[in-house]
Amino acid sequence: MDPEARRELQEQRLQGLVDRLLGTENFQGARLREAGVTRGTDVRLDEIHLLPTISKQDLWDHYPFGLQIAPQEDIVCVHGSSGTGGRPTLIPYTANDIEIWSEVMARALKGAGATTTSIVHNAYGYGLFTGGLGVHHGGLKLGATVIPMSGGMTERQVRLIDDLKPDVLCCTPSYALRLAEDLKKENSIQVGIFGAEPWTEEMRQEIQQRLGIKALDIYGLSEVIGPGVACESLDSEGLLNIAEDHFYPETDQGELIFTTLTKTGMPLLRYRTGDVATLHEPAGQRTLRRMSKLKGRKDDMLIIRGVNVFPTEIEAVVLTLASPHYLIIEDRRTTTAQLHVAVESTQDIKAKLSQDLKERLGITCQVHVLEPGKLPRTEQGKAQRLARWTQGQAPIDGLT
């Protein structure tokens, strides 16, 4: 779509959203009124930054459905996140919202090269988590064949990949690595669509090499819709195309903010995601704005003796020397925080890895080299790469 025409569409949609919110008594409508907004046409897209933002805390304060604006008879399902590191959040969806989700996910699959004859092995978890059903809806919309595997039971997954010969694999990047431990490099998969957790370029290389596939990144969050908010395509050169006709992006000091222009169940105006990334202009034949891979979440940023470190920066260094199974331990038992990095290797890489980490991050990390297989693998859900150690027993054996 011509960017100019899309801007107009986005502005119309924004005004429609503002009218929908003002039509309710609830939190977002009330705040718009307080800001002096009386109708949608008061608001312009290039002034969106003047409108109030909404945060996870607001979602918690109105838990479970206080921010829903659609009448109950229009709600067709609920998704959410389990709330690792916090309380759960739940999102009610209308049939209109599911239609939008199917559309953006079908786009994501198509941009990855999937077609109506594709077989999509979907190993994202089915349930409240949006990964499984998001890919499922998109696959159906595209007209591909979806194998609804969900997470876990790796032996059975490998068996079905051998038997059904899917060309598309969808799962978390950490689970792709778990599969790679059991799956032959000579497999039928052409492309993987991996997301739901942070992963680096180095991790991409590792997965591509181990599985012999092309690995693409997909981003999303249940508050906004689920997977499909942004996704790489075969031609997007490491950036993720944002479905900005539905989800209008902004950044504030690195933090991504999204406005759901078209949702009707629980739309959000200027939702602060807590995720850190950069926005980029369109390039090539595509006209959507794009975003970088996520650097991390604001609340995952470690501050070690005054130095800010994202776990992804540690991952990038670890993967140059060790296997992709690693654990970062932030030791906060005393006031001077210590960083431990546990990796798996058969070689004596301790000194070199410590030195590389020091060079890249500017801080000293305690490196622990364990035998392969010693660190926990993620079979289901999101990988936990970061353990915060505040008291009691160490998260892994051998730390004191």
| Residues contacting 30, CB < 8 A, separation 6+ | none
Q: Give CA–CA dist 82/70, Å, rounded.
A: 23
Among 286, 297, 332, 350, binds ligand DLL (CB under 6 A): 297
Among 217, 244, 330, 356, binds ligand DLL (CB under 6 A): 217
List own/partner pairs for 183-191 with CB under 8 A and 24 or more apart.
Answer: 183/158, 183/211, 185/210, 185/211, 185/212, 186/212, 187/161, 187/162, 187/211, 187/212, 187/213, 188/161, 189/121, 189/161, 189/213, 190/113, 190/214, 191/112, 191/113, 191/114, 191/167, 191/215, 191/216, 191/234
Residue 291 near ligand DLL by CB under 6 A: no
Q: Which stretch binds ligand DLL (CB under 6 A): 10-18, 95-103, 222-230, 339-347?
A: 222-230
Residue 81 near ligand DLL by CB under 6 A: yes
Q: Which is nearer to ligand DLL, 231 or 327 (CB)?
A: 231
Give the strand pairing for 326-331 and 338-344.
antiparallel
Q: Which two tokens stand for residue 26?
A: 């609830």
Q: Which is nearer to ligand DLL, 24 or 60 (CB)?
A: 60
Residue 221 near ligand DLL by CB under 6 A: yes
HSE of 73 in the Cβ direction (CA atoms, 13 Å)?
Answer: 0
Query: Taking CB under 6 A as the rule, which mask of x and - marks residues 101-140 in contact with ligand DLL?
Result: -----------------------x----xxx---------
Residue 275 near ligand DLL by CB under 6 A: yes
Among 226, 249, 265, 324, binds ligand DLL (CB under 6 A): 226
**CA distances, 16 to each of 7, 25, 40, 103, 346 (Å):** 14, 16, 6, 20, 59
Contact 274, 299 (CB under 8 A): yes
Q: Which is nearer to ligand DLL, 325 or 368 (CB)?
A: 325
The number of helices, as runs of H, and strands, as runs of E, in the chain is 10, 21
Q: Which is nearer to ligand DLL, 226 or 265 (CB)?
A: 226
Kindly determine how many residues on this chain lie close enough to bind ligand DLL according to the rule CB under 6 A: 21
Q: Which stretch binds ligand DLL (CB under 6 A): 3-11, 154-162, 214-222, 280-288?
A: 214-222
Q: Which is nearer to ligand DLL, 139 or 227 (CB)?
A: 227
| Residues contacting 334, CB < 8 A, separation 6+ | none
Residue 151 near ligand DLL by CB under 6 A: no
Query: Taking CB under 6 A as the rule, which mask of x and - marks residues 184-213 in contact with ligand DLL?
Result: -----------xxxx---------------
Q: Under the rule (CB under 6 A), what is the footprint of ligand DLL?
A: 81, 124, 129-131, 195-198, 217-222, 226-227, 273, 275, 294, 297
